Amino acid sequence: MQMRPHTGLEIDGFTLGEKLHTGGFATIWEVTHPQHPAPLVMKVPTILDGFDGPTIVGFEVEQMIMPRLTGPHVARVLAQGDFARMAYIVTERIAGGSMWQAFKRAPLPIDAVIEMAARMAQAVHDLHRQHVIHLDLKPDNFLQRPTGEMVLIDFGLSRHDHLPDLLAEEFTIPMGTFPYIAPEQYLRQRGDLRSDLYALGAMIYQLATGRMPFGEPETLKQVRQRLWRDPVPPRALRNEIPEWLQEIILRALEVDPGRRYQSAAQLIFDLTHPLQVRLTERAHKMAQDGFWTVWKRKRAMKKVKSFGTPISMAGQIDRAPILLVAVDLSPEMESLSHHLFLAVQRMLVIQPDARVACVNVLKTARIGIDQSTDEAGNHLHVSRLVGLKAWATGFDLPDDRLTYSILENSDPASGILDHAEAVEADHILMGARGHSTTRRFLGSVSARVVAEAHCSVTVIRLPERRKALAEVEESAA
């Protein structure tokens, strides 16, 4: 027998309390369970007497995807019910509300825009690493934990790279929220993670300007125009927006996915390293493209049926990884640094779209001791930066894919680990200084990075040191 949700209903040990939200496709209820003391919510699809196919299929998609997701950026699933009695999903209740309230206050201060955008992109990147494209990103679908992490909800239109795409199999119309839908979604492509980056670009535009980049279209015909129409440049609406932020926004809103950011990690990197954003003509635009430019683009787009079939989601992320390279600039480490350079070159052959983040750690002294200059009076930070750029000479990469950072930390391993996590590095490359007994038993920087890094680590040793280390290990044995 089909059940309808109402206050006081008991199902599978859950008791429905207050209705918290009524949406177009589902209702959200406060629920309790004797074995779960933490606050919970239950989502129930709205099944009417009309055409409920998208609602039913979308809820099935959520029930397939949500239990597979983990981490702070998604709500933990506790139970599910099928359509035999009453379909539902029970999850933890996120204390913070949706981000829509923040968007209603837009335009926000620039620093608030950057901080919020980076946290939203972080949640999206975590989702992509779990093989899911959301495909319906909008302010309402971002919640915020008290600890600050953004939480993504509403996966009814999502696509899991390892699961059948039920929506694509049963429906041929484009699906999504029209102000944020990407051009390829209009063309019925549902397998490109860069669609989510487009939606992020639209939301950052909205936070920065107080306006949506393409207004609030109500028909697919209006959505279609973004295949050839560019938005008003953000700086034309608010001149205090820095050029580097406009560069980020307009790059994320490029019509062709190949011209956008290729991963959320790259977007996060630019948001958190504004001085290293490579400015193009996008950064300086103060008006929309002219009539003839738009007319030519519209004529060309009439022939476009798709932007090509994207590779798997894991493949897309792997094609655009962030390689963090920790370089020791000490004179005695010159040979090791050279071998590290060669290792990075070999990796760029395998991953030609990678971004290389070069770092050097300036070990800070005890409190009260000034080590900002060396014995010759040279500023250490500046001289290290010059040396790092000199080391990287020879990498044939554009400025936006080769960056430099001097990290100041009393603990070099912590500096490298913290920076790798902050920039969402996919791989760390570094050299191993030596093989002394002290390092062997007390630990080295490279050993700690290998042990604690959230990503893969490659440690480079000099050939003669590898031989010496083997001799030491043989002697100890």
Residue 5 included in any domain: no
Residues counted in the chain: 477
Residue 21: phi, psi to the nearest 5?
-160, 140
Using DSSP, state whether 54 is helix, strand or coil. Answer: helix
284 and 371 in a single domain? The answer is no
Residue 60 CB coordination number (10 Å): 17
Query: Quick check: is 25 in a domain?
Result: yes
Nearest CA-CA partner of 78 in 62, 95, 91, 61: 91
pLDDT in tens, 295-345: 999 998 888 888 877 777 777 777 778 899 999 888 888 888 889 999 999
Residues 125 and 86 in one domain: no
Q: What is the Cα–Cα distance from 116 to 131, expressed in whole angstroms? A: 23
Mark whether 253 and 136 lie in a shared domain: yes
In this structure, the answer to whether residues 41 and 132 fall within a common structural domain is: no
pLDDT over 80 at 468, yes or no: no
Amino acid (one-letter) located at 85: R
CB atoms within 10 A of CB 29: 24
Place of tokens 């008991």: 10
**Structurally, how many domains does the chain consist of?**
3
CA distance 122 to 147: 14
The answer to whether residue 2 is domain-embedded is no
Question: pLDDT tens digits, residue range 266-295?
Answer: 999 999 999 889 899 999 999 999 999 999
Q: Convert the pLDDT of each residue in 81-91 to its tens digit.
A: 988 889 999 99
The residue from 92, 123, 149 where one domain ends is 92
Copy the structure tokens of residue 202: 């639209």
Same domain, 148 and 231: yes
Q: Are 63 and 80 in contact (CB under 8 A)?
A: yes
Residues 336 and 444 in one domain: yes
The DSSP result for 176-213, as a single string, is: S-TTT--HHHHTT----THHHHHHHHHHHHHHHHSS-T
Distances in Å between the Cα of 426 and the Cα atoms of 120, 228, 323, 355, 457 are 19, 34, 6, 10, 9
Q: What is the CATH number of the domain that holds 409?
A: 3.40.50.620
| Encoded tokens for 426 | 């996919």
Same domain membership, residue 265 and residue 390: no
Domain containing residue 21: CATH number:
3.30.200.20
* 3 inside domain: no
What confidence score (pLDDT) does residue 366 get?
A: 44
Reading the block at residue 371, the tokens are 């080590």
Residue 392 counted as domain residue:
yes
Q: Average pLDDT for residues 132-140, to the nearest whole number?
A: 96
Separation CA 477–CA 473 (nearest Å): 6
Last residue of a domain, one of 269, 299, 316: 316
Averaged pLDDT for residues 427-432? 90
Whether 214 and 248 share a structural domain: yes
Give the whole-angstrom CA distance, residue 202 versus residue 226.
12
Instruction: Read off the tokens for 137.
Output: 């990103």
Q: Which among 316, 345, 376 is the end of a domain?
A: 316
Residues 124 and 194 in one domain: yes
pLDDT at 369 over 50: no
**Residues 150, 143 contacting (CB under 8 angstroms):** yes
Containing domain of residue 67, as a range?
10-92
Q: How far is CA 15 from CA 4, 21, 42, 156, 313, in A?
A: 13, 17, 10, 24, 39
Given a contact cutoff of 8 angstroms between Cβ atoms, the answer to whether 264 and 121 are in contact is yes
300 part of a folded domain = yes
Mark whether 250 and 131 lie in a shared domain: yes
- 149 and 294 share one domain: yes
3-state secondary structure of 405: strand
Gap between the Cα atoms of 250 and 248, Å rounded: 6
Whole-number Cα distances in Å, 97 to 72, 93, 193, 215, 338: 15, 10, 26, 25, 51
**How much of the chain, in percent, has pLDDT values that exceed 70?**
90
Tell me the C-alpha to C-alpha distance, in Å, between residue 23 and each of 19, 140, 148, 252: 11, 11, 25, 29
- Which residues are 43's β-sheet partners? 28, 89
In angstroms, the Cα distances linking 371 to 31, 254, 375, 387, 401 are 58, 45, 10, 18, 31
Tokens matching residue 377: 């009076």
pLDDT greater at residue 389 or residue 474: 389
Report if residue 346 sits inside a domain: yes
Q: Is residue 385 within 8 Å of residue 391, measured between CB atoms? A: no
Are both 161 and 250 inside the same structural domain?
yes
Whole-angstrom distance, CA of residue 126 vs CA of residue 67:
15
Are the C-beta atoms of residues 124 and 200 closer than 8 Å to each other? Answer: yes
Q: pLDDT digits over 7-16, tens only?
A: 999 999 999 9
